[in-house]
């Protein structure tokens, strides 16, 4: 596969030219970006998948807290519905796509919507009581909207600065577009980097003077969640276990389970894989199926032996403050009670 990617290098040059030309049209104003009265936070990356965008949406939801009226807008990748769809109590993964449905189910107090046309999606959200903030998931390349704040994610082991364009590499956008980010977040660090390692990473990223860079690790729950309750790691002993993943980069989860001495067979599928009934039936042959929260929503109703391990971003206290400070000016102060 790697040899094929190198052979496709001429294709990557054509792709790079197309990316450059598209960005140039926006940069010079031939293609217009729209600004909206509602503050918007766009989360995205320059590469294909694997940086933890949706967990970052969840992190911001929890960071901002329940006093802030939030909406999350996604395109709803691989959903079967069309146009603007607002999540409700009857929505399912087919209507919304796996990641928006995951957010809607996990945070029922916020508004979740999907629309491949983000400008239209924002307009629809503003028709009702407008949210205080709209979080745009996976929207770095959606330049038709000019967000209030732009958060760029890049993985510790796959920095965009060291990558190349598709299909030879994993870049889906130009490296110089990192200049548009207000905050660059290095995700999935094995541990919080020491000053020497931070300097090495910063030398690769080369942030602008007005850009902040923070470094996050992955934090996994110490138990598995399923329809029939929770399981501890001790409950896994002696079980015939399949790890089923349909995400871009399952390596951190595989490494974590291995470090916990969990014995499993890894059944790896492509990102956003739609599991067939035959595949789900084969999973039922195992004592337990361990999976990600994103994958769990695709077969939770038909697979009673499935459990997921929740994953969250974790930051040092100083970096957590930097994340909050980056978006804090977008938060409307709560009205004071009348005397």
Indicate which CATH number applies to the domain containing 293. Answer: 3.40.50
CA-based radius of gyration for the chain: 21
Considering the domain architecture, whether residues 167 and 301 belong to the same structural domain is answered as no
Predicted local confidence at residue 228, as pLDDT? 86
Considering the domain architecture, whether residues 177 and 252 belong to the same structural domain is answered as no
Tokens 């038909």, residue?
A: 302
Considering the domain architecture, whether residues 213 and 251 belong to the same structural domain is answered as no
pLDDT at 336 over 80: no
Predicted local confidence at residue 335, as pLDDT? 43
Q: Judging by beta carbons within 10 Å of its beta carbon (0-12, 13-18, 19+), is residue 276 exposed, middle or buried?
A: exposed
Quote the pTM value.
Answer: 0.93
Q: What's the average model confidence in pLDDT over 215-220? A: 96
Q: Which domain holds residue 229?
A: 222-309
**First and final C-alpha spacing in the chain:** 69
Considering the domain architecture, whether residues 150 and 238 belong to the same structural domain is answered as no
Contacts of 114-118 with CB under 8 Å at 24 or more apart are 114/73, 114/74, 114/75, 114/76, 114/79, 114/81, 114/84, 114/85, 114/87, 115/73, 115/75, 115/76, 115/83, 115/84, 115/85, 116/75, 116/76, 117/84, 117/144, 118/73, 118/75, 118/142, 118/144, 118/145
**For 245-281, what is each residue's pLDDT tens digit?**
999 889 999 999 999 999 999 999 999 898 999 999 9
| CATH at residue 210 | 3.40.50.300
Considering the domain architecture, whether residues 209 and 266 belong to the same structural domain is answered as no
Predicted local confidence at residue 331, as pLDDT? 82
Answer whether residue 338 is part of any domain.
Answer: no
Query: What percentage of the chain carries pLDDT values higher than 90?
Result: 87
Considering the domain architecture, whether residues 154 and 244 belong to the same structural domain is answered as no
**290 bridge partner residues:** 243, 307
**Which DSSP helix (H) or strand (E) runs through 250?**
none
Pick from 6-15, 175-184, 234-243, 296-305: least confident: 296-305
Structural domains of the chain, count: 2
């Amino acid at each position: 596969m790697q040899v094929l990617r190198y052979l496709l290098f001429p294709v990557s040059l054509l792709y790079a030219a197309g990316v450059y030309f598209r960005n140039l049209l926006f940069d010079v104003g031939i293609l217009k970006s729209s600004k909206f009265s509602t503050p918007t936070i766009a989360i995205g990356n320059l590469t294909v998948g694997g940086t933890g965008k949706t967990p970052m949406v969840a992190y911001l939801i929890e960071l901002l807290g329940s006093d802030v009226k939030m909406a999350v807008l996604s395109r709803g990748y691989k959903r079967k519905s069309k146009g603007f769809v607002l999540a409700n109590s009857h929505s399912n993964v087919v209507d919304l796509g796996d990641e928006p449905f995951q957010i809607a189910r996990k945070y029922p107090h916020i508004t979740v919507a999907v629309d491949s046309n983000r400008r239209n999606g924002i307009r629809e959200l503003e028709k009702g009581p407008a949210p205080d903030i709209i979080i745009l998931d996976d929207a770095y390349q959606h330049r038709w909207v000019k967000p209030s704040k732009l958060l760029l994610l890049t993985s510790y082991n796959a920095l965009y600065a060291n990558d190349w364009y598709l299909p030879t590499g994993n870049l889906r956008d130009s490296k110089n577009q990192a200049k548009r980010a207000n905050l660059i977040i290095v995700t999935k660090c094995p541990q919080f980097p020491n000053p020497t390692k931070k300097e090495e990473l910063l030398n690769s990223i080369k942030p602008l003077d007005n850009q902040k860079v923070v470094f996050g690790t992955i934090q996994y729950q110490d138990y598995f969640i399923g329809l029939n309750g929770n399981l501890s790691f001790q409950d896994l002993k002696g079980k015939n276990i399949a790890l089923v993943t349909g995400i871009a980069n399952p390596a951190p989860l595989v490494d974590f389970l291995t470090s916990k001495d969990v014995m499993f067979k890894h059944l790896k599928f492509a990102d956003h894989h739609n599991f067939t009934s035959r595949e789900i039936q084969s999973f039922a042959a195992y004592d337990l199926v361990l999976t990600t929260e994103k994958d769990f929503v695709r077969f939770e109703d038909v697979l009673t032996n499935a459990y997921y391990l929740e994953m969250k971003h974790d930051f040092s206290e100083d970096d957590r403050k930097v994340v909050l400070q980056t978006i804090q000016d977008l938060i409307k102060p709560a009205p004071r009670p009348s005397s």
